[in-house]
Amino acid sequence: MAEIAFDAGTRSWLIRTAATGYALRLTEDDAPSHVYWGPALTPDQLADVLPRTKERWDAFNDPNEGLDELAADGGTRYWTPALQLRFADGTRALEWRYLDHDIDDGMLRVRFRDRHYPLRITLGYRVPAGTDVIERWTELTHDGPDGPIEVIRADSATWVVPVRPDYRISHVTGRWAAESQLLREPVPHGETTFGSRRGITGHHANPWVMLDDGEATERHGEVYSAALAWSGSWRITTTRSSTGRLTVTGGFGQDGVVPRLNPGDTLTTPVFAGLYTDGGFGAASRAWHAYALRHVLPHPDELRPVLYNSWEATGFDVTEAGQRELAKKAAALGVELFVMDDGWFGARDGDHAGLGDWHVNRDKFPGGLEPLVGEVHGLGMKFGLWVEPEMVNPDSELYRAHPDWVLHYPQRTRSELRRQLVLNFARPDVAGWAFDSLDALVGEYGIDFLKWDMNRPFSEAGWPDDGDQDRLWVEHTRAVYGIMDRLRAAHPGLRIEACSGGGGRIDFGVMARTDQVWTSDNTDSLDRLVIQHGYGQVYPARAMSAWVTDDPNFVTHRSTPLRFRFHVAMAGVLGIGGDIVEWPEEDLAYAREQIALYKEIRPVVQHGRLHRLLPPDTDGVSALQYVAADGERAVVFVFRQAAHFHTHERPVRLDGLAPSARYRDDDTGQVWHGAALLAHGLFPGLPDGDFASVVIRLTKL
């Protein structure tokens, strides 16, 4: 349990986690100001850190800029604002007045109000048990009788990074089928904003950053990181000044979208969590993974099943007989969850029609889904379905009945992507219809798993019948969360995978309501090494769906060995996505063998500690290692992507082992000293040629 203490004399709060400390205080004019973030300090030690307000040295610069706990628009500070409001009379500046605070069960709430206008502000802090993560959020309440307050920007938190000689930022970038590509680069001076204006988390960036002084490595160095738990439009802004200060502010929303607070309304922002670690990027990642497993994922102790998905085998050409044949083949391989993808509902013979009509296509399934679901359950597997509840085809029963249910403006074209329009889940009637449709589907057929897809961003994001149309950007995402929450409550056995054209909706907000996420539509194993490397900087393998698909790959048309494809996918939540009816018997036999191996190592992969030994490159060797939580077992994956020039095999140094212990290779029986594996490493024994791979299982003696 975190310790949170208030010192009335200095009007400061100190939050102490197991290994870190965080402090804030009130200035003379009641504004919340940042004090400290870093290694743990006692209250007495903090006294040496508490700053004094600095006097101005000119008329252009406030020496206290960049130290605000939540940088607000107003006064003579011109730092990037985290909070911008416009009151009913047009006034924009905020002036703080401290009210009170409370400390309860690892949570701190500090309450303020504006000195004149009817606005209350609460800054929230919480340390989940057993972590060094500090969750922060903001609540805004209109507590007056008159006029709306426009919310121009309401970030969840401003994180102030200690002054260092230089700064480097780590983040991911990408696009569809090329998500989560890790970049590490100097932090530019001025303001740099990462974000999504698409209504979803997005393929092009992801809402987290890591900051260091430019000297951190995988194993060494201080890293300051922050991750936003939000699945809609978002922005994270770094601000670096010529004085050496650096802040990170982030939250939901986007420029130009200005929702309103009406009298009595409260707006609660999503969590923007921060984490300080001293142990390099690897320690930061392992801390985020532990946080996700203990405090984010709904069923953290579960092992995710090996699944089969029918998409590559059938496309839209779905029939009951075809699905039965695939199910029998999948069960014989050892698959535990059979998922029927697109094409089972409405007039769904292609992407042009049927979305929104969530009733079984009786031409394809004359008896409904009961016979197929019964067959799958009888084969010892659970049954899952692909759905895309937020979308509708103009060629559908739903759209013809309710054309007003989509995002639109009265005098603007309704842009289509993938022949789809976006339903407005901010409308209670639309959200109610979506829940009722999915609830009936899951309940009637005994569905165990939903692959919840979302295949296009917002456009023409209007709501003509509502006086505050901009609120739909937040309320749509909240409605998605609410439907997932209600479905899970009504059907405790239901499990959900989040998908958005691949990895377009991956964040801690959606992970709190789903059991796994679809990492990318690109299943090419070479590309997946890069995608999974970026994903794993913050998010855990326990939620990372990874499939073995047909050769050549349908996205890249690259050919790779079945062994390589399996080993890459086995570093996450293993799935099979190929047309297994057409696989030769030797491939089926190998698949059975590898699925059995995965089930044996799955507890270590899904619940162990990740150590990135060698990062993936376009050629050369990469390696990663998982160590069980109790330290008794380890699994090492080694990959050779390509070999341009012949070189002798080099040892791979391991990590996370006990130097004084000995470890046995479960396949060869060879025994090594932990100290030797850490200091020198082991020769992995990669097969010759490109796209070679090996899985090494170690047991502590």
648 and 595, same structural domain? no
Over residues 546-567, the pLDDT tens digits come to 999 999 999 999 999 999 999 9
Per the domain annotation, does 496 fall within a domain?
yes
Mean pLDDT of 133-140: 98
**Total number of domains in the chain:** 3
CA dist., res. 32 & res. 19, Å (int): 24
Quote the tokens at residue 183: 């970049």
The order of strands in the sheet holding 135-142 is 96-104, 107-114, 119-126, 135-142, 266-268
Place of tokens 């699905």: 323
pLDDT at 57 exceeding the cut of 70: no
Over residues 278-303, the pLDDT tens digits come to 999 999 999 999 999 999 999 999 99
Give the DSSP per-residue string, 181-221: EEEEEEPPSEEEEEEE-SSS--SSB-SEEEEE-S---SSSS
pLDDT at 79 exceeding the cut of 70: yes
617 and 601, same structural domain? no
pLDDT at 60 exceeding the cut of 90: no
The answer to whether the CB of 58 falls within 8 A of the CB of 67 is no
- pLDDT score recorded for residue 238: 98
Last residue of a domain, one of 559, 588, 605: 605
380 and 291, same structural domain? no
695 and 546, same structural domain? no
pLDDT at 646 exceeding the cut of 80: no
406: three-class secondary structure by DSSP: strand
Per the domain annotation, does 302 fall within a domain?
no
Per the domain annotation, does 300 fall within a domain?
no
Q: Within 10 Å of residue 39's Cβ, how many Cβ atoms?
A: 12
pLDDT at 525 exceeding the cut of 90: yes
CA dist., res. 53 & res. 32, Å (int): 13
648 and 504, same structural domain? no
pLDDT, mean over the chain: 96
563 and 640, same structural domain? no
Per the domain annotation, does 272 fall within a domain?
yes
Over residues 34-48, the pLDDT tens digits come to 999 999 999 999 999
- pLDDT score recorded for residue 307: 98
The answer to whether the CB of 566 falls within 8 A of the CB of 575 is no
186 and 94, same structural domain? yes
437 and 291, same structural domain? no
168 and 241, same structural domain? yes
CA geometry: angle at 254 spanning 250 and 255, to 5°?
115
User: Can you give the residue range of the structural domain that contains 366?
Assistant: 307-605
Mean pLDDT of 460-485: 97
Per the domain annotation, does 55 fall within a domain?
no
Report the CATH number that the domain containing residue 543 is assigned in CATH: 3.20.20.70
- pLDDT score recorded for residue 618: 62
- pLDDT score recorded for residue 434: 98
- pLDDT score recorded for residue 279: 97
Quote the tokens at residue 68: 């605000």
Over residues 228-284, the pLDDT tens digits come to 999 999 999 999 998 889 999 999 999 999 999 999 999 999 999 999 999 999 999
Last residue of a domain, one of 262, 295, 328: 295
Place of tokens 């394809």: 364
pLDDT at 643 exceeding the cut of 80: no
pLDDT at 645 exceeding the cut of 80: no
pLDDT band for position 395 (50/70/90)? very high
pLDDT band for position 162 (50/70/90)? very high
Mean pLDDT of 642-661: 87
- pLDDT score recorded for residue 53: 66
- pLDDT score recorded for residue 77: 81
The answer to whether the CB of 316 falls within 8 A of the CB of 578 is no
CA dist., res. 35 & res. 696, Å (int): 47
Mean pLDDT of 511-525: 98
Q: Within 10 Å of residue 670's Cβ, how many Cβ atoms?
A: 11
pLDDT at 52 exceeding the cut of 80: no
263 and 348, same structural domain? no
- pLDDT score recorded for residue 50: 86
Report the CATH number that the domain containing residue 637 is assigned in CATH: 2.60.40.1180
pLDDT at 58 exceeding the cut of 80: no
Last residue of a domain, one of 265, 295, 325: 295
pLDDT at 13 exceeding the cut of 70: yes
Integer Rg of the chain from CA: 26
pLDDT at 63 exceeding the cut of 90: no
pLDDT at 619 exceeding the cut of 70: no
Which residues pair with residue 26 across a beta bridge?
32
Over residues 338-391, the pLDDT tens digits come to 999 999 999 999 999 999 999 999 999 999 999 999 999 999 999 999 999 999
CA dihedral 477, 483, 488, 494 (to 10 degrees): -90
- pLDDT score recorded for residue 433: 98
Over residues 454-471, the pLDDT tens digits come to 999 999 999 999 999 999
pLDDT at 126 exceeding the cut of 80: yes
Measured CA to CA in angstroms, residue 432 lies from 379, 425, 462, 473, 610 at distances of 35, 9, 19, 18, 41
- pLDDT score recorded for residue 644: 66
Mean pLDDT of 593-615: 98
> Which positions ≥6 away from 48 have C-beta within 8 Å?
none
Give the residue numbers annotated as catalytic, written as ranges. Answer: 453, 521
Mean pLDDT of 151-176: 97
Q: Within 10 Å of residue 197's Cβ, how many Cβ atoms?
A: 18
660 and 542, same structural domain? no
CA dist., res. 524 & res. 309, Å (int): 16
Per the domain annotation, does 54 fall within a domain?
no
Report the CATH number that the domain containing residue 153 is assigned in CATH: 2.70.98.60
**Positive/negative CA dihedral, 222, 227, 233, 234:** negative
120: three-class secondary structure by DSSP: strand
Q: Which residue has the higher pLDDT, 54 or 101?
A: 101
CA geometry: angle at 665 spanning 660 and 666, to 5°?
125
Measured CA to CA in angstroms, residue 176 lies from 105, 202, 205, 281, 500 at distances of 42, 9, 11, 26, 10
